[in-house]
Amino acid sequence: MEPPSASAAARAMFLMLTPNESSFEKVEDVPLYVQQATPVFVGLMLLELLVGVLKTGAPVITISDGLTSISAGMISRLPYLLMRGCELSAYVYVWNQHRLVELPWDSPWTWWFTLLGVDFGYYWVHRTAHEVAILWAAHQVHHSSEYYNLTTALRQSLTQQFASWIFYLPLALAVPPSIFAVHIQLNLLYQFWIHTELIRDLGPLEWVFNTPKHHRVHHGRNIYCIDKNYGGILIIWDRLFGTFAEEKEKVIYGLVFPINTFQILHVQLHYYLDLWRRSDTYKTFSDKLSTFIKGPSWQPGKARLGDYENNPKVTGKEVPHYPIWPLHLQVYVVIHFLLVLFIYHDLFEHKMMLSQLTILGMTSYILLTLTSLGFIIDQRPTAAVLEMLRCVVMVTMQRYSLMKPLYPSLAVPTERPCRQ
């Protein structure tokens, strides 16, 4: 298959592809819409930055928060280097072994039915991720930013994909995997552009579709915002199941208890440790287990989903965590982030030609780099030591040709001499 054009990738994001051009017989023929939409992501983020400055006089994206969100997105896709996505793998297995009927892959009716089916499945994926603490441990990553802009859309969890696949399996009893593979991407792409404060109201579309206005509510920590507006593409599911809320007073974004750090592994994994520590304070096995399978705010004696009694009061005057750090460090972090982004992109482009050991080594280096940059942003005392170690690892990997330098001419001092 030829990769989709830039036009197709952009239209995929706004659900403007026709069934005729996006229906395929085989999974192998389905374009990688998400991967091909990268230039659209970058273009829209730059446009949001420009419009934000013109409209408000200040950037809507900060270096510390924006880079952390993009880093989370990078980490969330690293498992795809070593395996096919859980959602598609499980789906193909159920389709091959247990399908009841086979809807025609080239029928527009199948296409539209799958759009609704995937979005309905996503509603329950999303709702369950808020109502079951062990699943919230994964999903809280997406809510951890105290800002709301297009980079926030990229702040994804490393671990959520290992549970979300269950909710789509009923579709595998009838819908061909190739059509599912299209719509699982379109559903994800649509949700990118709704992460912005610059689009205020879309009129009649607000009744049917998930929009920036509705999704802002979902990201709020105000009492009226919590556990509301789970829809992916459509907001009708929330209206049907009683989880819809209109945007009212100013939305304050982020977790109920902000984490106040940009260290990416902490952002991704801290809540698992919090759950373990909380369960350890309970005496009975039932309470320990309930810590993981009931709501994030559950405590013994409370309802399954807990309550908001212990939530800090939202006044509307909250200020996002914004560390003051020197300009030269900001420039350094941005440069090295762009360098690791180049390595990350190159790794995905050539993964089929690399050994598993090389992929594992480069993945470890990417994690080390993103961790080290987070330490620098947080200005931790050990940041200099960790960054020095990272630079030694980078030079070593270039010396032994495990990593391609961005500018080969600059890598001459690290090259191994040729034997005569």
149-194 confidence digits (pLDDT tens): 999 999 999 999 889 999 999 999 999 999 999 999 999 999 999 9
Choice between 71 and 404, residue whose per-residue pLDDT is larger:
71
On the question of pLDDT at 413 being above 70, the answer is no
Q: Is the pLDDT of residue 370 over 60?
A: yes
Angle at 180 between CA 29 and CA 131, to 5 degrees: 145
> Residue 54 pLDDT > 70, yes or no?
yes
Beta strands in 56-185 (DSSP E): none
3-class secondary-structure state, position 382: coil
pLDDT at 408 over 90: no
pTM value?
Answer: 0.92
Confidence of residue 420 (pLDDT cuts 50, 70, 90): very low
Write out the two tokens for 353. Answer: 């030609």
Give the pLDDT band of residue 5 (cuts 50, 70, 90): low
Residue whose tokens read 């809280």: 140
Query: In sequence order, which residues have a C-beta less than 8 Å from that of residue 173 and are 6 or more positions away?
Result: 94, 95, 98, 99, 100, 101
Find the length of the chain.
420
Task: Enumerate the β-bridge partners of residue 253.
Answer: 220
Mean per-residue pLDDT for 347-354?
A: 87
69-104: per-residue pLDDT in tens? Answer: 999 999 999 988 877 677 888 999 999 999 999 999
Which one, of 152, 15, 133, 13, lies nearest residue 71 by Cα?
Answer: 152
Express as a percent the part of the chain with pLDDT over 70: 94
Q: Please, are residues 200 and 161 in contact by the beta-carbon 8 Å criterion?
A: no
Sole residue written with tokens 């690399």:
354
Closest CA to 185 of 359, 27, 74: 27
